[in-house]
Structure 1
Amino acid sequence: MPELPDLEVFSANLDERFAGKKLNTVQVPNDKKLNVSSDELRDTLSGQKLKSVSRSGKELYFNFEKGDVLALHLMLRGQLHFFEESHEIKSPVIELFFEGGTGLVMSDFQKIATPTLNPPVAEAPDALDKSVNADFFNKEFKGKKAAIKAILLDQNKIRGIGNAYADEILWKAGISPFSIVGKIPAAKLKDLHQAIVAVLNDAIVQIRKAHPGSITGEFRDFLKVHTQKQPKSPTGGEIIIKKAGARKTYYTAEQEFFS
């Protein structure tokens, strides 16, 4: 699943391509996940000019001139595709036809990628929001017994971080992914905040540099511990891989365990 850094790059590239263009029409070949009818979506958005494309958590927001928002969530295997005039892309979920013959398709062979018209305001902050700081973590973690990685992955607590970047952030912060959040000292929560900002922003830079025009995919070549390419971290710790269900956690003994 694309995470915050991937989607930040995608949103900038989509904005460059479509901002300022009028949406002629929208088609929804697979409307099972759509929160309104296809007709309502079409009636609401058709003819409107797209003001911008932005990112919120793990969703892409298409912001239209009348204040309407179309949110696209790629889920696990969703992909985005540019097209001109027409397309033959398999498993389309939603198709946006802009003036000038340009268009965008979100496809998903699993049929779980989700379009949402005018999504509700999220209660949880985005991981790069200024409100996410050491004080935020002090308040959110106090007295709780959950593991820190589980909290970072919970989109109802903080939005945008997925499995790969949770591992990278916790390694940089020097915190074991299995640490109990309520036991992590205040000084380490500052390290956690700094690691979130540093890791996510550096990843955005790396993706833009290596894949400047990307609008789909997951780019992980530069990761330091969540990787199959290196047996050790940059600081020499052996990378340990622990599997739970379909999810793998990558960490090292360098990270301190708090319990």
Structure 2
Amino acid sequence: MPELPEMETYKTLLSSLIIGKKITDVAIQREKSINIPVDSFTTQVTNQTIKTITRRAKHLVFQLQDGSCLLLHLMLGGWMFFGKEEDKPDRTIQVKLSFGEQHLFFIGLRLGYLHLLSPEMVDEEFEKLGPEPIDPQFTIVAFQQLMQNRKGAIKTTLINQEVLAGIGNGYSDEILWHAEILPDKKINDLDNQQVTRLYNSMQFILQRGLKQGGYMENPLYKGDGKTGGYQFYVHAREGEECPRCRAPIVIEEISSRKTYFCQSCQH
């Protein structure tokens, strides 16, 4: 599932491609990907100009010229491609927004969605989300206060969107590996040094993900050299050598999530 670095990369690249451009046509192949009838969605979105693109957690918000918003969540397996019809991937397209001869294709939205909402409705969708971990105002002090009096496994806490917004299964494994903390360790068992290390690792891993364009395998457009440069340290690398101590990476299920870690150098 695309997480904070992937969605932030999409936001940055799409901002340079479609902000200020008019949506000339809309095609819906899967009605469940949108939230209102196809005719209404098409009528309200066609001929609108994209004013801004913002990210919140794992969502993108496309603000249209009339003030309404398209709220995107790619969920598991979702991705996008921008380009001409002849360049599109040989995959089923659920939604297509056209900008003249170029199009934004939404692919793999079997669980994801593109909803047309008012700004107030978008705010309601975000009400329960926790703070953004890369926000400059989210300091080590803010993190320490957030962790106070919490219980449960640290892995489960990191992926809880009501605690921290944007971190998912992949980057939580990376953060805990970098911080040398086992994923099933209880939060209330962490000392101050470990909490500080966890915060610093979270900043390091997420910023590394941003700089390297996240881990999405598919390019956003033809010639895209930014998307997908991030290489995991431990996530999805079961049986391979730990980059730090060379012990084999193991996998366990924690809170119904496949979790990858090193038993040797995570404590």
Fold shared, TM-score > 0.5 on shorter chain: yes
User: Which structure is richer in relative contact order (CA contacts within 8 A, separation 6 or more)?
Assistant: 1
Hey, what's the Cα distance between the residues in 2 that align with 1:180 and 1:155?
18
Hey, what's the Cα distance between the residues in 1 that align with 2:38 and 2:195?
45
Given that 2:209 and 2:230 are in contact with CA atoms closer than 8 Å, whether structure 1 keeps it comes out as no
Look up the match of 1:249. Answer: 259
Question: 2:193 matched to 1:181?
Answer: no
Give 1:50-199 correspondences, 5 Å limit: 50-84=50-84, 90-98=91-99, 100-108=100-108, 111-118=110-117, 120-121=122-123, 122=126, 123-199=129-205
The alpha-carbon deviation at position 85 of structure 1 amounts to: 5.6
Given that 1:57 and 1:127 are in contact with CA atoms closer than 8 Å, whether structure 2 keeps it comes out as no
Hey, what's the Cα distance between the residues in 2 that align with 1:229 and 1:157?
28
Does 235-244 or 177-186 show the bigger shift? 235-244
Given that 2:238 and 2:250 are in contact with CA atoms closer than 8 Å, whether structure 1 keeps it comes out as no
Between the aligned residues of both structures, percent identity stands at 27
Given that 2:78 and 2:107 are in contact with CA atoms closer than 8 Å, whether structure 1 keeps it comes out as yes
Question: 2:209 matched to 1:203?
Answer: yes
Given that 1:127 and 1:158 are in contact with CA atoms closer than 8 Å, whether structure 2 keeps it comes out as yes
Q: Which amino acid aligns with 2:94?
A: V
How many positions carry a matched residue from both structures? 253
Given that 1:134 and 1:186 are in contact with CA atoms closer than 8 Å, whether structure 2 keeps it comes out as no
Q: Secondary structure at the residue paired with 1:120? A: helix
Does 67-76 or 37-46 show the bigger shift? 37-46
Question: 2:24 matched to 1:24?
Answer: yes
The alpha-carbon deviation at position 33 of structure 1 amounts to: 4.0
* Residues 254 and 226 (structure 1), Cα distance of their counterparts in 2 relative to 1, 3 Å cut: same
Q: Secondary structure at the residue paired with 1:160? A: coil
Deviation per CA, 1:85-144, whole angstroms, max 9, x where unpaired? 68785432221112x321111122x72221122352213222322343333333333333
The alpha-carbon deviation at position 7 of structure 1 amounts to: 2.0
Q: Secondary structure at the residue paired with 2:29? A: coil
Q: Report the aligned-residue RMSD.
A: 3.1
The alpha-carbon deviation at position 236 of structure 1 amounts to: 1.3
Does 236-245 or 160-169 show the bigger shift? 236-245
Given that 1:237 and 1:254 are in contact with CA atoms closer than 8 Å, whether structure 2 keeps it comes out as no
Given that 1:97 and 1:103 are in contact with CA atoms closer than 8 Å, whether structure 2 keeps it comes out as yes
Q: Which amino acid aligns with 2:155?
A: K
Hey, what's the Cα distance between the residues in 2 that align with 1:192 and 1:66?
43
Look up the match of 1:223. Answer: 232
Given that 2:80 and 2:104 are in contact with CA atoms closer than 8 Å, whether structure 1 keeps it comes out as yes
Hey, what's the Cα distance between the residues in 2 that align with 1:134 and 1:214?
34
Given that 2:23 and 2:97 are in contact with CA atoms closer than 8 Å, whether structure 1 keeps it comes out as yes
The alpha-carbon deviation at position 13 of structure 1 amounts to: 1.8
Hey, what's the Cα distance between the residues in 2 that align with 1:28 and 1:172?
42
Look up the match of 1:36. Answer: 36
Q: Which amino acid aligns with 1:19?
A: I
Given that 1:147 and 1:177 are in contact with CA atoms closer than 8 Å, whether structure 2 keeps it comes out as yes
Could you state the TM-score of these two structures normalised by the residue count of structure 2? 0.80
Deviation per CA, 1:202-227, whole angstroms, max 9, x where unpaired? 1222238x9896369x8476222225
Q: What runs of 5+ residues in structure 2 fail to find an aligned partner? A: none
Q: Which amino acid aligns with 1:249?
A: T
